[in-house]
Amino acid sequence: MLENGTIPNGSATLPVDVSTAPSIIGINFGNSYASIAVFTEEGVAECIANEDGERQIACALAFHGEEMYIGNQAKQQLVKNSQNTITGFRNLLGKKFSEVPQDKLSVSAPVTQHPSFPDTPAYKVKVLQPAPSPLPVTATNTPTASRVATPRSEPVEVERILTAFEVATIFLASLLQSAEEFLGKKVVGAVISVPSWFDDAQREALSKAAEEAGIPVLQLLDDAGAAAVCTSQSADDVPGDRTQLIVDLGASSLELSLLSIREGLAYSLATLSDSSVGGDEIDSKLIKFFSKEFTKKTKTPLTVAPATNPLDKRAEAKLRLAVEHTKRTLSASPGAATCSVESLRDGLDYTGSINRLRFDMEVRSIYDKVYAKVKELAASAEIDLYDIDEIVYIGGSASLPGLDETLSEGFTESVITPFKAGTVVGGGTGDPTTILARGCAFQAHLLVSLAQESPELLGSFSKGSDQTSVAATSRTIGLLVPREDAEGTMGGIWIPLVFKETPLPCRRTSTFEVDVSGADATVGFELWEVKEGVKNDHIKLPKFEDDEGEEAEEEVKEKTLTKEAYLLSLTLSPQYAVGGKTIVQVQAVVSGSGALDVSLREVLKDSLGAAVTASVAAP
C-alpha cells in the first residue's frame, strides 16, 4: 500500500487517498447521452441515476429565463425553446469552427463563430440576469421615500456566448456532482470513454474540460476498449479466446471495431467509422411514418425530416421526443408500441402505433447499411464473418432486435450476442446503454489498484506507450499428434496453443491426456503454424414437383485448418502412465520479438507434480 499514492496522468499527478477507495467512477460521455457507473464494494460496476432519476442523461443544456437545465429536462426545451437549447457539443471539442459542417440540420441552438476567439465554435443563447443593483447608501445618497417605494428592477435579457469547451465543462461538472452525491464522498479518479476517431486535439480538449469540471481523469479509454473490458469482466460463459465485433450505433454515426480477445487482452484488428448511418436516421424514418399517419387521419398536412416552416419544425421536435419512448418499447416488447403527442399540429392531438414487423420494414435500409459496413470491416481485416465469435452492441439504437437478426444472418449459429444471452435490457451485462460506463468503471478500479501496488505500471495505459503498440501473432501455433486414422487435412489430432492475433509477449499453457502403450513407448508431437480459413460450399436444395424455376442453392460454411509452417518436433518418454494413459502439459512462450520457447512435461494427478520436463526453443 502506498503511504501517499499518486496516479500519473501525463505530466500531472492525481492524489489518491486509499482509505476512500472505491470512490472511482466511469463516465460514458456520448454526443447524445451520457451515463455514470461506480465500482461497488461488491466488486461490480453499476450505472447510477442522477438527481432526476435518469440513468441515460441527455447531453443537453438549456437556458430559460434565469434557469439553466441540464440533461433530459434540457432536452424537453427543444420544443418551445430550441434556440436556447444546446446539444451535440461533445463532437465539437477540439474542433475549429471552419471544420464544423454548416450544411447539417440543427434542431437546437446553431453553432456560430465566437466573436472574441477566431475560428472557435460557440453557441449564442439569451438568458435573464438580475438588473444592476441600486447605488449604495452614503451620506450624500440618502434613500428618499420614493426610492424606498420603488419596486426591485426586473431581470434583463442579455446575450450569452458559450464555447463548446465551456458547455462540456458545465455538463461534466453536473455528472461529477451526481456521482459524489450518490457515493457520499469525493471522487478520486475517473475513466472517461472517447471515440476511437477522436484526434489528439480532441482528446486534449476533453481531458482539459474534465479537469476544469473537477474530475480527476485517470484515462481516456477508447469506446472499443471500454466494451472489451466490460464484456471480459462481466461474462462468465464467454470463452477467453475469441474474435469480437463491436457495433456502436450512436445517434449521429456508426462505429465498428474488430478485436481479438486473448485471455483478457484486446488487440485491434480493424476499425471503421461512418457518419452517414446513425440513430437519428432511424428516428427520421419513424417521424415520417407517424407524420403520414397524422396527415391521413386529420387531413392536416405535416412535412417533417426535414421541416421547413416553424409549425412543422415544432411538430417534428415533439415527434422526436415521443419516438424515443416508442423505440424503447419496441426494443423490450415484441408487441406494438404507441406514439402520443398533444397538440401536434394546429391544436390536434395524435396517437399512433406501430408493431415490430412494420418498424423493421421501415428501417430495413438502415439495418442493411450497417450489415454492409460490417462486411466491409471484416474484408479490411481479411477475415470471414464466420470467424467472428461474439457481437457486442453499444448505443440505444443498437438495442433493436431487428438489427441483431439482420447481422446474425451472416455469422455462425453459435455467435454470441446479448440478445441470445438475454442481457440486452434492464442493466444486464450486455445492455448497450450501460456497457461503456461500466467498462470505464472497471478500468478505473484497475488503475487505482495499480496506483496502490505498482504505480510505475500505469504508464502502460497511456496512449502511445510501448504496451499500447504491440505486435501480434499472424497465425495460430499448436501441437499436432500424428495419427494414421485421423480424418481431415491435418493428419492427426490438433491442439491449439497460441491463437492468431494474440498480443505479444504471451504465455499459454495446455494440459491434456494422451494414450501410451508399453513401458518404453514415447509420445511424439509436431509443432506447426497453421492457417485458418472458411470453406464455402453451395448445396442444391430439393426441388418440388410444381417448381418450374431454377434449382435453389444454400451456402454452407465450414472452418478449415491448413498446415502452413513446420517448426519442430517434441518427444516425451512417459514414466507415470496409468492404464495406458498419461497427462501431458505443454507451455508456449512467445517474446515480443517473436522468439518461441516450448516446454513439454508429464504431470501427475496427485501432489507429486511434474515428473519430466523437456524444453526446446525456436526462433
pLDDT 10s digits, 302-316: 999 888 888 999 999
Identify the pLDDT of residue 439: 94
Kindly state whether residue 495 falls inside one of the protein's structural domains: yes
pLDDT confidence bin for 453, thresholds 50/70/90: low
Asked if residue 296 is part of any domain, the answer here is yes
In degrees, to the nearest 5, what angle opens at C-alpha 399 toward C-alphas 397 and 404?
105
The reply to whether 14 falls in a domain is no
pLDDT at 17: 45
Residue 608, pLDDT > 50, answer no
Task: Give Rg (Cα) of the chain.
Answer: 30
Of 309, 466, 476, which Cα lies nearest the Cα of 387?
A: 476
- Residue bearing the bigger pLDDT, 507 or 21: 507
Angle (CA) 548-552-557 rounded to 5° is 175
Give the pLDDT of residue 428. Answer: 61
Residue 137 belongs to some domain of the structure? no
214 and 291 assigned to the same domain = no
Q: What is the CATH number of the domain that holds 496?
A: 2.60.34.10
* Residue 275 included in any domain: yes
Residue 560 shares a structural domain with residue 597: yes
pTM for the predicted model, two decimal places: 0.82
Residue 395 pLDDT > 80, yes or no? Answer: yes
* pLDDT tens digits along 296-347: 999 999 999 888 888 999 999 999 999 999 998 998 888 899 999 999 999 9
Is residue 460's pLDDT more than 60? no
Q: In this structure, what CATH number is given to the domain that contains residue 175?
A: 3.30.420.40
3-class SS letters over 430-464: CCCCCHHHHHHHHHHHHHHHHHHHCHHHHHHHCCC
Residue 162 domain-assigned?
A: yes
Same domain (yes/no): 375, 517 = no
| Final residue of a structural domain among 395, 417, 439 | 417
What are the residues facing 582 on neighbouring strands? 514
For 565, the enclosing helix (H) or strand (E) is: strand 553-572
Same domain, 115 and 243: no
Residue 593 CA to residue 175 CA, distance in Å, equals 44
pLDDT at residue 459, rounded to an integer: 55
380: in domain: yes
**pLDDT higher at 195 or 547:** 195
613 band by pLDDT with thresholds 50, 70 and 90:
very low
Is there a single domain that holds both residue 217 and residue 242?
no
pLDDT tens for 84-143 read 999 999 999 999 999 988 766 567 888 999 999 989 999 999 988 876 665 555 555 555
Q: Give the per-residue pLDDT at 193.
A: 96
- Specify the residue for cell string 465500482: 39
Q: What is the pLDDT of residue 22?
A: 61
What phi, psi does 372 have (nearest 5°)? -65, -40
Residues in Cβ contact with 85 at an 8 Å cutoff, skipping those fewer than 6 apart: 60, 61, 62, 63, 74, 75, 77, 78, 108, 109
Residues 314 and 191 in one domain: no
Instruction: Note down the domain range covering 160.
Output: 24-131+153-221
* Per-residue pLDDT, 76: 92
Alpha-carbon distances of 591 from 68, 296, 618, rounded to whole Å: 56, 69, 11
Whether residue 2 lies inside any domain: the answer is no
In which band, very low, low, confident or very high, does the pLDDT at 13 lie, cut at 50, 70 and 90? very low
78 near 99, Cβ under 8 Å?
no
Final residue before a domain boundary, out of 352, 385, 417? 417
- Could you give the number of structural domains in the chain? 3
The pLDDT, as a whole number, for residue 521 is: 73
Q: What percent of the chain lies above the pLDDT cut of 70? A: 81
- Name the nearest CA neighbour of 250 among 215, 205, 212, 280: 280
Domain co-membership, 65 together with 96:
yes
User: Amino acid letter at 499?
Assistant: F
Task: Give the domain-ending residue among 417, 439, 458.
Answer: 417
pLDDT the model gives residue 266 = 85
CATH number at residue 260: 3.90.640.10
pLDDT for residue 3 is more than 60: no
Same domain, 275 and 341: yes
d(CA 598, CA 296) in angstroms, rounded, equals 74
Q: Using one digit for the tens of pLDDT, what is the confidence trace for 265-293?
A: 888 899 999 988 999 999 999 999 999 99
Average predicted confidence (pLDDT) for the chain:
83
Q: Residue 363 burial (CB < 10 Å; 0-12/13-18/19+)?
A: buried
Same domain assignment for residues 100 and 175: yes
Clarify whether residues 273 and 392 are in a common domain: yes
Question: What phi-psi label fits residue 343: left (phi over 0), alpha (psi between -120 and 50 degrees) or beta?
Answer: left
Do 380 and 413 belong to one domain? yes
Range 499-511 average pLDDT: 88
pLDDT, residue 397, reads 86
Tell me the CA distances in angstroms from 510 to 138, 259, 525, one per residue in order. Answer: 90, 23, 14
107 and 29 inside one domain: yes
